[in-house]
Amino acid sequence: VIVITVITMNPLRDLPRRAPSWQDVRARLASYIAERGLKQSRQRDAITEVFFATPGHVSADELVLRVRSVDKRVSVATVYRTLKLLGESGLASSRDFGEGQTRWESAVGRPHHDHLVCTQCGKIVEFANDEIERLQATVARRHGFHVESHRLELYGRCGDCGPARGRARDGEGR
């Protein structure tokens, strides 16, 4: 599946378009590492640099390929370990679009947002909608919950792929 991330204008609230600053990322990761007595390494640097240079939503698998095109000497395990580290440091966040693998994206300079996923071509469009967020909080409160996080994904056909030919499949609830 080809996954393309498109950040589009959102009439309700534009997602910031400024690219994550590599300087900023590097500094934040360095301090995170220093604070915990961890160590830097060639692999960590390479993986991090490639990750933040990659737009959209990458899987560990894809990241391994990309990193190796730059530095052959990086193992799969280290990529997994580094992604985990980036997640813990708050620099990256993971998503599961139900493909059976986890996808990662930069969390630097990127406030919360949700996703529209094209079931035909795999395109992923990000969006943010304060009104939906507000309603979610209201619903949760009504049930005595205090929401810590949520996940919202809309699956359907994007403009380019047009309407489904057959009827929408059912069964798999979503």
Partner DNA sequence: ATTTATGCAAAGAATTTGCATTGTA
Partner DNA sequence: TACAATGCAAATTCTTTGCATAAAT
Q: Which residues sit at the interface with a copy of itself, rule CB under 8 A? A: 8, 10-12, 86-90, 92-96, 98, 105, 107, 112, 116, 118-119, 125, 127, 129, 131-132, 135-136, 139-140, 142-160, 163-164, 168, 170-174
Confirm or reject binding of residue 101 to DNA (CB under 7 A).
Answer: yes
Q: In one letter, which amino acid is 19?
A: A
Extract the tokens encoding 17: 């378009």
Given 21, 22, 41, 135, the residue binding DNA (CB under 7 A): 41
3-state secondary structure of 57: coil
The gap from C-alpha 65 to its chain's centroid, in whole angstroms, comes to: 18
Confirm or reject binding of residue 39 to DNA (CB under 7 A).
Answer: yes
Extract the tokens encoding 135: 């309603």
108, 48 Cβ separation under 8 angstroms = no
Total residues in contact with DNA, by rule CB under 7 A: 25
Report the residue number, 97 or 127, with the smaller CB distance to DNA. 97
Extract the tokens encoding 161: 């792929």
The gap from C-alpha 7 to its chain's centroid, in whole angstroms, comes to: 12
Residues that bind DNA (CB under 7 A): 33, 37-44, 59-61, 73-78, 80-82, 84, 100-102
